[in-house]
Structure 1
Amino acid sequence: MFRPLSLYIGLRYTRAKRRTHFISFISMISIAGMALGILALITVLSVMNGFQKELQSRILGMAPHATITEYPGPMKDWQTAADTAKTNPQVTGAAPFINGQGMFTFSGRVQGALIQGILPEVESEVSDLASNMVEGDLQGLLPGDFKVVMGSQLAASLGLQLGDKVTMIIPTANVTLAGAMPRFRRFTLSGIFEVGYQFDSSLALINLSDAQKLFRLKDSVSGVRLRLKDIYQSREIAREVARELDGPHGISDWTREHGNFFAAVQMEKKVMFLILLLIVAVASFNIVSTLVMLVTDKQADIAILRTLGTSPAEIMQIFIVQGVWIGIFGTLLGTIGGVALALNVTDLVAWIEQVSGSQILASDVYYISFLPSELRWMDVITIGCASLVMSFIATLYPAWRASRVKPAEALRYE
């Protein structure tokens, strides 16, 4: 079978037993270093992808993808706005809401919170709150019963348990003979949810009817929340819905409140990729030292090939083949190891925690108490291609040095 001379000799050099084992040792170090760098890079990027996906599902499972508000003042005919929004094929759910600020006090403890009025029967259309309940349920928020559902950290900071009576203070004054007084209302804790984000420490939910009475909105609401099929088109879809409504309306979407957080995570991922890619670069440029020593060791062979008519370009190709083979072998080992580790890192960390008896990601410190991982094949392909390109670049200078060997000088002392 026909094979180019440079490819044949280059592959033969990789299989040949060298006169010195030191060059073989350096080659193995280069392969191992590249494999470890690629393994670390694939694993770290997969873990960061897992964190990003997990946080996105938790945050956007609670936060509205988009909101429609009426300008100026509260929205009076929210049902029409919700029905109009649902006619858009990109809208999967719509529900009214009322937002307000307040404080809770219980047994001498005081905590501020975002008070949100909802309709429990349609809340599942726009959020995953029902699946995040750890105690009680949303159906307990009946109109007129003045019950409240809190985040786990908010309830814990107040020392509340299900059935406890907590006082809500609203910064809307009641004018009395004694002067302006803040408004008070007793609520019963009927449920606790846990998302693993700032909602746990700052959000309290009450029935929409109770919120209307509390904030004196009569039959009005703050606006309508929307859940969309494509979260990355939220602003455009919200504008389409607002244009179909009568009168001026304002729009907002998840990127306005949480976009900076996801942008920071994406930036951190890019920086981590560049930092870990330096490990692969160091390993790939070890090929330079390997090939330089090999060129010195093979000067007599190079001189003989030159006297037999081999061109400098073919000599250069021989050592490029050998250097690229080291890069391919290291990349292959690192990719296989990285993919295997990325697919099993969650179970591996859980096993380490079980054996050691300690928790690596404490739930009271981090948003997520386990190590998520999501392997993306595009990341694997990008890393593999980058490592192969760096391996090829690393072979150019030693191969060029080999092509410049002069046969007469190389054979003078042979």
Structure 2
Amino acid sequence: MKYSAFSAVSIFVGTRFTLSSKKANQLVSFISALAISGLVLGVAILIVVVSVMNGFERELKDRILSVVPHVVFFGDAADSDWKTRAEALMNHDEVIEVSPFTQLQGMVHSKGTTRPIQILGFEKDRTPAIFYELLEEHMLNFPSSNEVLLSEVVASALNVSKGDSVRVFSAKTAFGGTSVHNFVISGLFSTRTELDQVLAITSMSHLSKISSTKNAMTGLRVQVVDPFMARQLGYDLLEDLPFGYGFRDWFQTHGNLYKAIQLSRNMVGILIFLIVAIAVFNVTSMLMMSVLKKRRDVAVLKTLGCSRQDIVKIFFVQGTIIGVFGIVLGVIFGILGCSIIADFVAYIEHGTGRVLLDTTIYPIDYVPVDMRFSDIASVALSAVVLNGLATIYPALKASRIKPAEELRFH
């Protein structure tokens, strides 16, 4: 008898072969369980890993690049007409925000501890939006005169808190000498990024008075619509500034981080995909064992009129049922894993007292997760395709069984 596509007989017999649990088939059942477990773990881990790497990429764009300027323009230190420069840049449609700033780099000292520090000074009405959000989030006021807002990481290292005083040492000139500045901590904040290792904020007017620039800005921080077009926009915007200005974009300061995230995502994805592939080909081993156990059944089916194509379909159905079952479970556990991994890591950190994501090593101090339907579908579809390929050889092997040879002693 011949059947088009997957006939009811092929599906029925393939399903019966899959669900059969005779004692004689304990080894096959064990290998089937092993194959399903491998698929579940492989698919679930791949979904979690890809989602976490997506999360790091998203946080780079949404959090880190909201704190880090997309483009910074530097010019003559004596140029005090920053309002005109800022207005010229804001005329561009691609520019979201322009913030003049003064910068002071040095060492901060308190209670016998010294750390590197980068103090950014802003005008109150031109403070970058992200820093205003931080002020509101931590219920802080904009610092005045000799006040400074200190990151929680730096404050913890110095063992200081709101109201304490710190001393900042900086170079007096490019040729040497040291200046000492006293600040009062008016509040603490956290960006939850690697920037917390050195960051502090104060008023631009006060910082420019005590720094070597003297009443002038250090540069212009510019946020643009598309951060990945920052370099090209930098060249375009440079045409609206006087001769002597230059710029630096975020690719120069954090480009390696973005490349590292992309490389890590690709490499880890490939490794986990290989694990899935190995798990899928456990299905091949299981089906080969099933073929050995079902040789007599296959011979009987052939004598009843099943063609070689029907036998192929039967074992293809068996492999597909096992594969799809494992893949569906893997997707479910992968989604569950994505939903709890951030809390799980936080729980481990709290329980052990150890920081797993230290911002001296990682760009952020928490596990970001960004589940995307397209990635989950791609993982599941790839696993289904690999599973289908894994069933071909055993199915063909079964179709070549000769009824006369198998049944002559029965």
The Cα of 1:129 is off from its aligned counterpart by 5.5
| Aligned: 1:88 with 2:88 | no
- Larger mean CA deviation between 185-194 and 17-26 belongs to 17-26
The Cα of 1:225 is off from its aligned counterpart by 0.5
| Aligned: 1:157 with 2:160 | no
| Aligned: 1:45 with 2:50 | yes
- CA 1:370–1:306 in 2, change beyond 3 Å: closer, same or farther? same
- CA 1:121–1:305 in 2, change beyond 3 Å: closer, same or farther? same
Amino acid paired to 1:409: E
- Any idea what the Cα deviations from partners look like across 1:108-131, whole Å, max 9, x if unmatched? 443332232221322133x33542
- CA 1:167–1:349 in 2, change beyond 3 Å: closer, same or farther? closer
- CA 1:170–1:33 in 2, change beyond 3 Å: closer, same or farther? closer
The Cα of 1:13 is off from its aligned counterpart by 2.4
SS of equivalent residue, structure 1 residue 121: helix
- Larger mean CA deviation between 389-398 and 344-353 belongs to 344-353
Task: Give yes or no for contact 2:108–2:114 (8 Å, CA) kept in 1.
Answer: yes
Residue 9 of structure 1 is matched in structure 2 by 10
- Larger mean CA deviation between 11-20 and 277-286 belongs to 11-20
| Aligned: 1:257 with 2:260 | no
Q: For 1:1-400, what aligned pairs fall within 5 Å after superposition?
A: 4=5, 8-16=9-17, 17=20, 19=22, 20-22=24-26, 23-54=28-59, 56-70=61-75, 75-125=79-129, 127-128=130-131, 130-131=133-134, 137-141=140-144, 145-173=145-173, 181-307=177-303, 310-347=306-343, 357-358=351-352, 361=355, 370-400=366-396
The TM-score normalised by the length of structure 2 is: 0.85
- Any idea what the Cα deviations from partners look like across 1:168-188, whole Å, max 9, x if unmatched? 32311599xxxx853233322
The Cα of 1:397 is off from its aligned counterpart by 1.4
Task: Give yes or no for contact 1:343–1:374 (8 Å, CA) kept in 2.
Answer: no
- CA 1:140–1:98 in 2, change beyond 3 Å: closer, same or farther? closer
In 2, the alpha carbon distance for the partners of 1:306 and 1:246 equals 87
- CA 1:183–1:359 in 2, change beyond 3 Å: closer, same or farther? closer
The Cα of 1:319 is off from its aligned counterpart by 1.9
- CA 1:102–1:262 in 2, change beyond 3 Å: closer, same or farther? same
Task: Give yes or no for contact 2:14–2:317 (8 Å, CA) kept in 1.
Answer: no
In 1, the alpha carbon distance for the partners of 2:180 and 2:59 equals 38
Task: Give the unaligned 5+ runs of structure 1.
Answer: none
- Larger mean CA deviation between 32-41 and 238-247 belongs to 238-247
Task: Give yes or no for contact 1:65–1:234 (8 Å, CA) kept in 2.
Answer: yes
Task: Give yes or no for contact 2:10–2:310 (8 Å, CA) kept in 1.
Answer: no
In the alignment of these two chains, the number of paired residues is 402
- Larger mean CA deviation between 367-376 and 83-92 belongs to 367-376
Amino acid paired to 1:284: V
SS of equivalent residue, structure 2 residue 109: strand
Amino acid paired to 2:396: W
Task: Give yes or no for contact 1:75–1:223 (8 Å, CA) kept in 2.
Answer: no
Amino acid paired to 1:241: L
In 1, the alpha carbon distance for the partners of 2:225 and 2:174 equals 44
In 2, the alpha carbon distance for the partners of 1:13 and 1:229 equals 56
In 2, the alpha carbon distance for the partners of 1:348 and 1:191 equals 30
Amino acid paired to 2:383: S
The Cα of 1:379 is off from its aligned counterpart by 1.8
Amino acid paired to 1:302: V
- CA 1:363–1:321 in 2, change beyond 3 Å: closer, same or farther? closer
The Cα of 1:58 is off from its aligned counterpart by 3.7
Amino acid paired to 1:160: V
SS of equivalent residue, structure 2 residue 170: strand
- CA 1:53–1:132 in 2, change beyond 3 Å: closer, same or farther? farther
Task: Give yes or no for contact 2:349–2:356 (8 Å, CA) kept in 1.
Answer: no
In 1, the alpha carbon distance for the partners of 2:230 and 2:245 equals 16
Task: Give yes or no for contact 2:342–2:369 (8 Å, CA) kept in 1.
Answer: yes
Amino acid paired to 1:63: V
> Percent identical across equivalent pairs?
32
Amino acid paired to 1:289: S
| Aligned: 1:404 with 2:400 | yes
SS of equivalent residue, structure 1 residue 139: coil
Task: Give yes or no for contact 2:172–2:212 (8 Å, CA) kept in 1.
Answer: no
| Aligned: 1:413 with 2:401 | no
The Cα of 1:28 is off from its aligned counterpart by 3.0
